[in-house]
Amino acid sequence: MTMEQIQELTFSADTIKRLSEILEEPGWMLDLRLTAWRFFQEIPWPTGKEETWRRTPLRGFHLEAYTPFDVDAFTHVAREEDLGTVYREHLAELASSGELVMDEGQALYHRVEERWAQQGVIFTDMHTAVREHPELVQRYFARLVELGDNKFAALHYAFWRGGTFLYVPRNVEVTLPFQTLARLSKEKSAGFYHTIVVTEENASVTLLEDFFGGREGMHDGVVELFPGPNSRLRYAHVQDWDLSLWNFGTQRVRASRDAEVVHLISSWGSKLSKVWITLDLVEPGARGQLLGVYFTTDSQHVDHHTMQNHIAPACSSDLLYKGALKDESRSVYQGYIKVWPGAQKTDAYQANRNLLLDGRARADSIPGLEIEADDVRCTHGATAGQIPEEYIFYMESRGLDRTQAERLIVAGFFQEVLERVENEDVQRKLEATIADRLGVPLADLGFDPS
């Protein structure tokens, strides 16, 4: 991209029209983008006085510093071996039913096992889905996360580019996970990946999305998950952006009758990350787990805002977020359980646990409940503290030095969350990241590296 082209690409309605023209989008998508842009212009920037923002200031963030999208065309390859080393190494970590690789919002590589394609499974990038399955995309796009949900959601819908579309028809149970790699390889670029996953009645699927790169950039993503009646949907969102990137996200799940959903977010990268996650339990018998892990260093700031929204009766939700914090890093967790009138027999649990590995680190937990039904069980809890000295003493008495003891304790601290990850390959991937943060091989932490 030339300097002249970069300078032309400002965040504006004209740039939106140019993007939509390049992508050859239908009129309804351009209209949606322009409507979202109007929302963005109307919604004020957070001042830091709002309850959801006062612990996560936006000092230093300037939207005009980033390029809305990259006009250069990337080469699409037909074979995995033709991808760059960084992509092949990521793909080798997981046995999968299909892979999707993207850079700067453009698809580089795509594969789906033929047996799933023959059964009607659709796994592709969002732009291909818009072209080849327009009615299906229109049925679900922006149906959970609304255009004006928040300032960053509006910006996302105006400039979204790239993302994953996964649709599993009725009674199809996909055995191995699908995997998406989403990268930002250019400096100071803005990424806007969008994810939609739909499981129809009695279907089952797992999707792992891995986000990385983005030096001196920003990412503003949206995830919409639709587990249908009696279906099982497992979604893992692995965020390992460059430590210079600003990350924002809005993710929402709508669980139907007797559906079971597991939503995992792991926040390893970015200089600042703020993500909203909402679980809507809209029909009886729906069950949801919200899992989170984060390991922050230096001056990282990670903010998760969750909502367990119990609308229908006889539903359950279980949230467990665990984080370890080093140096001068900070985490903010704001969790809310809402039980609507008539949502009897609700069973909701929420826990946020933080391990402070440095006296300068800080963790703020703000749990909340609003209950408008009388036959419910709702509990929440939050902790933040350093490793108890008696734990260190016990392990030193077994021949370990203090550093070794602390590393093993941190690994064990995360194990409670990792054990809930049903796929062993996904679990090992998370374990490898934890070992990397601690600077030791997997085997030294008691993890199985095989």
In a domain, 311, yes or no: no
pLDDT for 163 equals 99
Lowest mean pLDDT among 1-15, 88-102, 302-316, 425-439: 1-15
Lowest mean pLDDT among 174-188, 221-235, 346-360, 383-397: 383-397
Tokens representing 327 are: 């140096």
Q: Are residues 279 and 394 in the same domain?
A: no
Name the band, by pLDDT with cuts 50, 70 and 90, for residue 70: confident
Q: Are residues 394 and 274 in the same domain?
A: no
In a domain, 315, yes or no: no
**Residues 6 or more apart whose Cβ sits within 8 Å of residue 403:** none
Among residues 208, 156, 203, the alpha carbon closest in space to that of 181 is found at 208
Among residues 219, 100, 108, the alpha carbon closest in space to that of 165 is found at 100
Among the candidates 283, 317, 334, a domain finishes at 283
- What Cα–Cα distance (Å) separates residue 17 from each residue in 21, 95, 387? 6, 40, 54
pLDDT for 344 equals 98
Among residues 386, 432, 380, the alpha carbon closest in space to that of 409 is found at 386
How, if at all, do strands 316-325 and 346-356 pair?
Answer: parallel
Q: How many angstroms separate the first and last alpha carbons of the chain?
A: 43
Structural domain of 97: 3-283
Q: Are residues 184 and 37 in the same domain?
A: yes
pLDDT for 144 equals 99
Q: Are residues 262 and 393 in the same domain?
A: no
44 within 8 A of 320, measured Cβ to Cβ? no
pLDDT for 176 equals 96
The mean per-residue pLDDT over the stretch 274-282 comes to 99
Among the candidates 283, 299, 317, a domain finishes at 283
Kindly report, residue by residue over 308-319, the tens digit of the pLDDT.
Answer: 999 999 999 999
pLDDT for 3 equals 38
Average pLDDT in the chain: 94
In a domain, 146, yes or no: yes
In degrees and rounded to multiples of 5, residue 101 shows phi and psi of -120, 130
In a domain, 380, yes or no: no
Name the band, by pLDDT with cuts 50, 70 and 90, for residue 99: very high
pLDDT for 5 equals 46
CA distance 255 to 260: 7
In a domain, 206, yes or no: yes
pLDDT for 75 equals 78
Q: Are residues 43 and 169 in the same domain?
A: yes
4 within 8 A of 14, measured Cβ to Cβ? no
In a domain, 366, yes or no: no
CA distance 146 to 164: 18
In a domain, 339, yes or no: no
pLDDT for 446 equals 63
Tokens representing 417 are: 């969350």
Q: Are residues 273 and 395 in the same domain?
A: no
**Residues 6 or more apart whose Cβ sits within 8 Å of residue 395:** 404, 405, 408, 409
Kindly report, residue by residue over 191-202, the tens digit of the pLDDT.
Answer: 999 999 999 999
The mean per-residue pLDDT over the stretch 56-78 comes to 88
Q: What percent of the chain has a predicted confidence (pLDDT) above 70?
A: 96
When divided into structural domains, the chain yields a total of 2
In a domain, 23, yes or no: yes
- What Cα–Cα distance (Å) separates residue 206 from each residue in 94, 260, 298? 12, 12, 33
In degrees and rounded to multiples of 5, residue 218 shows phi and psi of -145, 155
pLDDT for 7 equals 45
Kindly report, residue by residue over 120-173, the tens digit of the pLDDT.
Answer: 999 999 999 999 999 999 999 999 999 999 999 999 999 999 999 999 999 999
CA distance 147 to 144: 9
Name the band, by pLDDT with cuts 50, 70 and 90, for residue 447: low
- What Cα–Cα distance (Å) separates residue 217 from each residue in 65, 150, 300? 9, 20, 15
Among the candidates 249, 283, 317, a domain finishes at 283
| Whole-prediction pTM | 0.95
